[in-house]
Copies of this chain bind each other. A is one copy, B any other.
Amino acid sequence: MIYADYNGSAPLCPDVREHVIKRIQEGPFANPNAIHHLGTKVLMAMENSRSVCAKVLGADFKQVLFNSGATEGITQAFFSIMHKNPKKKIIISGIEHSAVVNCAKFYMKDFGHEMVVLKTNDNGVVDLEDLKDHIDNNTAMVAVMAANNETGIIQPYREIAEICNTNDVPYLCDTTQYIGKTLFDFKKSGIDYAVMSGHKIGAMTGCGLLIAKDPTTVKELVIGGGQENGKRGGTQNYLAYETLAVALHYFETHLDKLEVLNTKRVEFESRIKEKFPDVVIIGENSPRLSSTTYISYPGIHGQAVQIELESKGIYVTTSSACSDNEPVTSKVLKAMNVTDDVGRGVVRISLGMCSDPAYYDEIFEALSNSYDKLSKIKSY
């Protein structure tokens, strides 16, 4: 079996599996806020995990808030910035995850804010000039991701941060697909709020981080008993938070794996293009994550390819998990002016740093066979 849907959700990385099994066999289990020794032990392990996460991500210990994942982080960043904000304008890109889009829509519909969607260049990169044109004194916030979940295309988040910082506008950057796939330094980035999900990097499901340049600006979204420095109520999910540190440490100490993967990915893409000249690789010449290929054979339905690959034990998706069920050109591709002819044909092949690079050879074989077979019975 080859699992090639890391951008959807990553399997637990080997070190995380080992950690969780040992952790569950040995304990201790306790409320990290309890005064007894077991509580203190749990608390210390959790705070140590926070230190590791902060270090790997170039943030201060106090800037790192644990939560249930990137969607909560995004919602909380919006809440922190937008709650009772007199400034009207929310600027987002056209390729944002639905969490960002729907947060912006919430403040539009329920509190009368205004949403500006930036243009995306045909190469899948957000148009910086459009941002410069729109940002003004009435801008409450900007939300542009670091790397796109469908295409893997990397966005110029440092330049965006610079524009935002100059204009004194808070910048929320959805770094969910970026963190754990390439090096990230929060402090150097200039970003005000960054987010991540454990399950995208091989840590446990249901955990994540909100990193805030100024944590005092964070407003409590999940309102509880003072946990996470009063910024996130509820007994901390310490078992999962520990795995964030394990996965990020694994990432930091295995960066070479990403390079190998990248080399193999580039090779895979050129081989498939050579064999099938009609094939389109989305964002081919744009900066991309080392492990994402979003590929289309115009005329062959992506879903048909996905099913063919699945019959050979290779698991890919057609776009993002949330819009998977709609056999239409995704909004991300539409923003890039990708035609329906190409858009309906895409499958997303996404590996992770724990994947065997040789998988690309197997995927090449299976994909070639699928294209050979399906091109004879073109579906649209």
Contact = CB atoms under 8 A, between A and B. Distances in A.
Interface of A: 3, 5, 8-12, 17, 20-21, 24-25, 27-31, 33-39, 68-72, 74-75, 78, 83-84, 97-99, 102-103, 106, 110, 197, 199, 204-207, 220-227, 233-240, 303, 306, 310, 315-318, 320-322, 324-325
A303 B36 CA distance: 10
A237 to B, nearest CB: 3
A35 B325 contact: yes
Given A84-B110, A239-B205, A24 B35 contact: no
Contact of A206 (B10, B97, B239): B239
Given A9-B29, A17-B25, A29-B11, A98 B225 contact: yes
Contacts of A234: 68-72, 99, 197
Contacts of A35: 303, 306, 317-318, 324-325
B21 A24 contact: yes
A115 B199 CA distance: 40
* Chain copies in the assembled complex: 2
A253 B205 CA distance: 28
Candidate in A25, A97, A199, A320 with the most chain B CB atoms within 10 angstroms: A199
B33 A321 contact: yes
A259 to B, nearest CB: 25
Contact of A322 (B102, B225, B237): B225
B238 A205 contact: yes
B24 A20 contact: yes
Contacts of A235: 9, 69, 71, 197, 199, 205, 321
A31 B17 contact: no
Contact of A310 (B36, B70, B84, B222): B36
Given A68-B68, A205-B236, A324 B222 contact: no
A205 B236 CA distance: 7
Contact of A102 (B12, B84, B204, B223): B223
Contacts of A227: 322
Contacts of A29: 3, 9-12
A8 B39 contact: yes
Contacts of A10: 29
A149 to B, nearest CB: 10
